[in-house]
Structure 1
Amino acid sequence: MVQLLKQKKQVVNVLAVFAIATFSLHLLTLFILILQGFTVRQLSLQKPPTFVQLVNGKPIKTIDTLAREPEAIRQFVSKTMVSIFNWSGNLPPRTIEQVSKPQSDLGILIKTPSGGVKRVATSSWLASFAFAEDFRKGFLSQIAEMTPPEVFSDRPERKMSAKLDITQIYPPEKIAPDKWRVGIVANLIQTKGRDNKKVIIPFNKDVIVQSIDSFKHPLTQQITDLQQAIYSVRSDSLEIYEIRDLCLTDEYDKTAKQRWLRCKVKF
């Protein structure tokens, strides 16, 4: 009888140890799951890595997600400014047929600083999405004031077009973390009527650029052509947030602070 009691007591002890061990494993598993959940959440909140395209077209992964190559900045500024002043009177072509048979541009209505309403070219309106949002509205108002109404005329003798001819674009100068200044020397050439009379307006500006994060639309098959165009404009992960007059009398390699003290006129 005594031996049976001892055996029974030993069985109870083994079960108790097993229960405690199982409970401890459950606690450890729960702790690991909670830790893994926090790790996944932190990864989801991190910015995705930026791939910078070099001049030769080879993409590289950068540690700094806001780093940009100088040539990429120059191309962005050149492309954006030319598109802003592309006043051809026609809509940007979306198909091969529209290249040979362009559609007339009716323009986009924009409120002007004087309180009136004028039209800007559709290409200007689309390109303006490359600007910072707080700068874009005022900039479009200025473009509306500059755009001649003859751009949208359907009479050939009154028709006017314009384009920006960039003669020189300076290397980007870093003025702050992830911000650059790019000087451009250009002429705004306006052509009017069948006789192709030209009016040339100097356009020499300092374009202030900053890097941003941009993301592709996850449902590319379900967005409109307009949305796709806007996403395409923002795909460079850069935006213009200020435009100043370019001081051509100064050496361009002077520091930004010295030059800005002498050249404070905004566009």
Structure 2
Amino acid sequence: MRRRGGLLALVLASSGAWAQPCAKPVYLTLDTGHMGVANFVAEVLSRQQVKVTFFAANEKTQEGDGSLGSFWAPWWKARAAEGHEFASHTFDHVYWRADLPGEPPAFRVRPSAGPDAGRESTWTAGEYCAEIARASRRLQEVTGRKPLPLYRAPGGKVSPRLLAVARSCGFLHVGWSPSGFLGDELPSETASNPQLLQKALREVRSGDILLAHLGIWSRKDPWAPAVLEPLITGLKSRGFCFVTLRDHPMYREWVARGK
């Protein structure tokens, strides 16, 4: 019996079923961007055995037909096979601009991608919900895996009314921790990669949600090739471990209920 029990323990340990609990979790999230660093990011995550949560919109890309287009579909499918998680970032990367007065709820919005990029318009609650769900459906198409019932508004710009509408159609909003803002959107001239790396290693705390992107058009000195792997190894050396939002205490129950 002892030998059989030892064998069972070995099998469970190797499968992850008896994995040690993570005492200092951090939740690395990656939003879409121009995708120019996507393959590099995937290589680093695989090499470091780190799982992340991707928030995806169909943004303009350096190569291909948009980050959720057919060109990048195999890339997303490969990330699903590796065990990463996915969630909506709105399909056309739609920024909330303002709540409009009155009932039913309506919002002023401005997409930064798609046919209406750069144009401000008014959306009903139903139109906003449909936009979140559209990215989620596309993610399921290209990954073969059901995305998390979560979303991130572009720029993190929301209002209590917008959040209530999103929740009513099945999506909880995910922002990021103040110390989890990794700074890849900032100008390289004023926020160098070494500065951003040291700031993150100094300030990140257990439980933080970290934010970076799969390429930022405006940054002259790309963040990921210089910072991503040193950040991961540096946090690991400080006792941190990387967990997806499926297991975040704020979202775990919502995800498990399949909202």
The TM-score normalised by the length of structure 1 is 0.25
Q: Which has the higher contact order (CA 8 A, sep 6+)?
A: 2
Larger radius of gyration: 1
TM-score, normalization: structure 2? 0.25
| Higher share in strand | 1
